[in-house]
């Protein structure tokens, strides 16, 4: 064998992720193992061979229904996947193995994990960082399944420069990479980025996101390039959004003008058929507008006159109210004086004496309410002329004066009641006057507001119509077009920077291109030519010859190139594990299919370090592998229909006639 990978030496002894052993368990308590499958780095072939007997039925002779697709689903399951297809398989398996499940020894970045995942929906998964299978179900060691899942995430997505996708900021997950690493037969290998059939990976942009993700995994997307792509995406999105608004902004002046005109017609009660401007005959929008303004001004002048008159009336009534309040207060003091004499209250007597002395001192001053000298005030003269009542009069004198004092108290109380009634009536008159004044204020304000709004609408209408006639853009449209020019310049600048940055990354892309040409030359010979196109959103790996067989081969070529690149380049973030479920060998020639297997086997031999190989490739097939690969170091499992012991579960999970799908 002539070496053909000498320019691409291995950079590690073992893959970052690989599966060493798979145990299919009939039961974990007691521990009963149905099948033990030993895997290894390098090429692992699972052959669902056709029976030698010519008596076998058509279904059996095809090599289907023996469990090869089930094995691929179980590998996905043990690697943390819980998709719907796996759930359907588990429902079939749990009917035959109620206490069963799958266990595996999985190596992640040099750390060995033992994992158990049950078929039943209500059992718990187990994972432990250990080497011996017996320790997996040891109750003395703690379960760390979440730690196992985290290790898968860290060893894969944790290595990426960016943990989210440009444009959407969607978080990347291990399941995205697992879908690429384990390619199911149901995808029919009809496209490099078609990883799952009907399950959905949750990419928000199914066409753009998978290529970005693959480039990130291949190390073609460093932090600066990722940032540039995000800036281009964000700027382009802002530009697209702005450009979608500009047509509306261009039409907006006409809409606004029509809307303002409708508002004015409604305000002035003009018909739809009336012209806007005044003509020689008939009503118009302009005429009604002027008439309404004149009417409003006249009405406001009338309201102003009424307001002034109401203000004067309120002032007069307030003066009367002040006078009545003073009279009531004086009557209240007269009542209190009389009551203190009746009650013979020494404290009150002293207060009244003091007040009398103050009243006597008011002579020569003017009363502000009556506008007369206090010396001429009847009240003052009466109070100052009253005979002083000695506090220490004898009981006989007090009794003799009691009737007169009681009569004076009664008279004072009647005078107070009359004064308070007069004050309350005047208070109501003042309140009514204030309310009338407020009503006039509201009328004036309402009229002024309506007139101002009408004039504002009319001025706005004239400005908009003038703007339309002159062809002047609105302020918002002018700003939008300025912003559009700026964003276009930013997009051009960023795209230029992106092109330069990608050219700087060309050494990494050239390395993958060289590896692609190397693998394609080995696989197709000199007449074949394979290319790697990192910017393609549909066919990143291209084979020069057409035809469906080569379309499928492009997918296989791309996967193998990425697998070998993971083994030979530190820049790759690919885990170095690849599972292919029965590639479409029926659409490929026997020679091409044979060379495909031999290419992988030779690559494993060239990249081996002792017994270690820096990648793991697991493939199921119904066609016979090349004779030189039908050896234990390559052929890890043979499945044969017709006999239970040669089927994956050593029994049929469903009757053969109902088990046409590969998942059985």
Residue 523 predicted with pLDDT over 70 = yes
Mean pLDDT along residues 388-396: 43
For residue 369, what pLDDT is reported? 55
For residue 662, what pLDDT is reported? 41
Report which secondary-structure segment, H or E, holds 616. strand 616-621
For residue 403, what pLDDT is reported? 78
CA dihedral (13, 19, 21, 27) in degrees, to 10, reads 160
Residue 121 predicted with pLDDT over 80 = yes
- Kindly report the average pLDDT of the chain as a whole number: 84
Mean pLDDT along residues 40-44: 97
Give the residue carrying structure tokens 């749990």.
94
Mean pLDDT along residues 371-389: 55
Q: What is the pLDDT of residues 209-251, one digit of tens each?
A: 899 899 999 988 766 777 787 788 889 889 999 989 888 887 7
Q: Write phi, then psi, for 616 (nearest 5 degrees).
A: -130, 125
Q: What is the pLDDT of residues 550-567, one digit of tens each?
A: 778 889 999 999 999 999
Where are the chain's structural domains?
A: 17-222+505-657, 231-263+473-499, 285-468
For residue 203, what pLDDT is reported? 85
> In which band, very low, low, confident or very high, does the pLDDT at 298 lie, cut at 50, 70 and 90?
very high
Angle, alpha carbons 217-218-222 (nearest 5°): 80
> In which band, very low, low, confident or very high, does the pLDDT at 394 lie, cut at 50, 70 and 90?
very low
Q: What is the pLDDT of residues 455-484, one digit of tens each?
A: 888 888 888 888 777 767 778 888 888 999
Residue 640 predicted with pLDDT over 80 = yes
For residue 390, what pLDDT is reported? 45
For residue 664, what pLDDT is reported? 38
Residue 408 predicted with pLDDT over 80 = no
Burial 529-538 (b: 16+ CB within 10 A, else e): ebbbebeeee
- Classified as helix, coil or strand, 367 is coil
Q: Enter the tokens of residue 615.
A: 């990648």
> In which band, very low, low, confident or very high, does the pLDDT at 659 lie, cut at 50, 70 and 90?
very low
In Å, what is the CA distance from 305 to each residue of 38, 291, 435? 108, 22, 17
Other C-beta atoms within 10 Å of 228: how many? 21
Q: What percent of the chain has pLDDT over 90?
A: 43
Q: What is the pLDDT of residues 304-343, one digit of tens each?
A: 999 999 999 999 989 988 988 888 888 888 888 777 767 7
Residue 418 predicted with pLDDT over 80 = yes
CATH topology for 17-222+505-657 is: Rossmann fold (3.40.50)
Q: How far apart are CA 80 and CA 445, in angstroms?
A: 74
Give the residue carrying structure tokens 């703007």.
467
- Which residues neighbour 338 within 8 Å (Cβ) at sequence distance 6 or greater? 405, 408, 409, 411, 412, 413
Residue 175 predicted with pLDDT over 80 = yes
Burial 7-33 (b: 16+ CB within 10 A, else e): ebebebbbbbbbbbebbbbbebeeeee
- Classified as helix, coil or strand, 52 is coil
Specify which residues 37 forms β-bridges with.
22
Q: What is the pLDDT of residues 241-275, one digit of tens each?
A: 998 988 888 777 778 788 888 888 888 888 888 88
Does 528 or 441 have the greater pLDDT score? 441
For residue 655, what pLDDT is reported? 43
β pairing state of 111-118 and 101-108: antiparallel
Q: How far apart are CA 542 and CA 538, in angstroms?
A: 10
Residue 413 predicted with pLDDT over 70 = yes
Proportion of the chain in helix, strand, coil states, percent, rounded to 5: 55, 10, 30
pTM assigned to the model: 0.64
Q: Enter the tokens of residue 260.
A: 């303002």
| Three-state DSSP string of 400-414 | HHHHHHHHHHHHHHH
For residue 240, what pLDDT is reported? 92
Which range among 56-70, 125-139, 394-408, 583-597 shows the weakest confidence by mean pLDDT?
394-408
Which contacts (CB < 8 Å, 24+ apart) does range 123-131 have?
131/105
For residue 241, what pLDDT is reported? 92
Mean pLDDT along residues 399-413: 75
Which range among 300-304, 447-451, 469-473, 596-600 shows the weakest confidence by mean pLDDT?
469-473
Give the residue carrying structure tokens 């009359």.
418
Mean pLDDT along residues 151-166: 91
Mean pLDDT along residues 592-608: 94
CA dihedral (187, 190, 192, 193) in degrees, to 10, reads -60
* Residue 609 C-beta-side C-alpha neighbours within 13 Å: 11
- Which residues neighbour 505 within 8 Å (Cβ) at sequence distance 6 or greater? 220, 222, 225
Residue 661 predicted with pLDDT over 60 = no
For residue 354, what pLDDT is reported? 64
């Amino acid at each position: 064998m002539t070496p053909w990978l000498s320019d691409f030496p291995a950079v590690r002894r073992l893959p970052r992720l690989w599966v060493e052993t798979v145990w299919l368990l009939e039961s974990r308590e007691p521990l009963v193992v149905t099948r033990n499958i030993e895997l290894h780095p390098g090429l692992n072939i699972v052959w669902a061979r056709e029976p030698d007997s010519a008596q076998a039925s058509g279904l059996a002779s095809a090599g289907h229904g023996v469990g090869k697709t089930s094995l691929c689903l179980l590998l996905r399951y043990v690697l943390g996947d819980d998709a719907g297809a796996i759930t359907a398989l588990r429902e079939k398996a749990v009917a035959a193995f109620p206490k069963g499940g799958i266990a595996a020894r999985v190596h992640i970045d040099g750390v060995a994990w033992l994992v158990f995942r049950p078929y039943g929906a209500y059992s718990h998964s187990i994972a432990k960082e250990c080497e011996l299978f017996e320790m997996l179900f040891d109750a003395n060691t703690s379960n760390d399944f979440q730690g196992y899942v985290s290790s898968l995430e860290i060893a894969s997505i944790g290595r990426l420069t960016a943990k989210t996708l440009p444009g959407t900021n969607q978080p990347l997950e291990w399941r995205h990479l697992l879908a690429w690493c384990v390619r199911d037969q149901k995808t029919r290998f009809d496209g490099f980025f078609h990883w799952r059939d009907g399950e959905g990976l949750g990419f928000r942009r199914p066409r753009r996101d998978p290529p970005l993700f693959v480039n990130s995994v291949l190390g073609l997307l460093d932090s600066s390039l990722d940032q540039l792509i995000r800036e281009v995406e964000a700027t382009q999105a802002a530009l697209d959004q702005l450009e979608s608004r500009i047509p509306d902004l261009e039409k907006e002046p006409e809409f606004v003008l029509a809307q303002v005109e409708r508002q004015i017609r409604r305000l002035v009660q003009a018909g739809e058929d009336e012209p806007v401007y005044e003509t020689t005959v008939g009503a118009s929008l302009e005429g009604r507008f002027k008439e309404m303004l004149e009417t409003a001004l006249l009405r406001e002048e009338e309201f102003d006159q009424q307001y002034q008159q109401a203000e004067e009336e309120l002032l007069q009534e307030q003066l009367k109210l002040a006078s009545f309040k003073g009279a009531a207060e004086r009557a209240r003091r007269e009542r209190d004086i009389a009551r203190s004499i009746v009650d013979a209250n020494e404290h009150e007597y002293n207060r009244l004496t003091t007040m009398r002395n103050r009243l006597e001192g008011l002579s020569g001053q003017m009363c502000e309410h009556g506008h007369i000298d206090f010396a001429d005030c009847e009240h003052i003269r009466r109070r100052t002329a009253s005979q002083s009542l000695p506090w220490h009069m004898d009981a006989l004198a007090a009794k003799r004066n009691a009737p007169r004092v009681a009569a004076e108290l009664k008279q004072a109380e009647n005078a107070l009641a009359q004064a308070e009634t007069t004050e309350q009536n005047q208070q109501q008159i003042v309140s009514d006057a204030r309310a009338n004044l407020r009503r006039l204020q509201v009328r004036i304000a309402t009229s002024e507001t309506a007139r101002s709004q009408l004039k504002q609408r009319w001025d706005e209408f004239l400005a908009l119509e003038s703007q339309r006639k002159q062809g002047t853009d609105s302020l918002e449209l002018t700003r939008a077009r300025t912003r559009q020019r700026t964003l276009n310049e930013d997009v051009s600048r960023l795209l230029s920077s992106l092109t330069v940055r990608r050219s700087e990354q060309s050494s990494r892309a050239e390395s993958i291109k060289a590896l692609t040409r190397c693998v394609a030359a080995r696989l197709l010979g000199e007449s074949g030519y394979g290319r790697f196109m990192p910017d393609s959103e549909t066919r990143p790996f291209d084979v020069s010859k057409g035809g469906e067989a080569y379309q499928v081969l492009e997918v296989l070529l791309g996967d193998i190139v990425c697998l070998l690149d993971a083994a030979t380049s530190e820049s790759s973030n690919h885990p170095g594990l690849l599972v292919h479920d029965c590639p479409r060998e029926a659409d490929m020639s026997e020679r091409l299919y044979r060379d495909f297997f031999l290419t992988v086997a030779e690559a494993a031999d060239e990249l081996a370090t002792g017994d270690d190989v820096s990648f793991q490739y697991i493939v199921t097939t119904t066609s016979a592998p090349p004779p030189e690969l039908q050896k234990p170091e390559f052929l890890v499992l043979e499945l044969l229909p017709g006999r239970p012991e040669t089927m994956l579960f050593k029994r049929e999970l469903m009757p053969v006639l109902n088990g046409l799908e590969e998942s059985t």
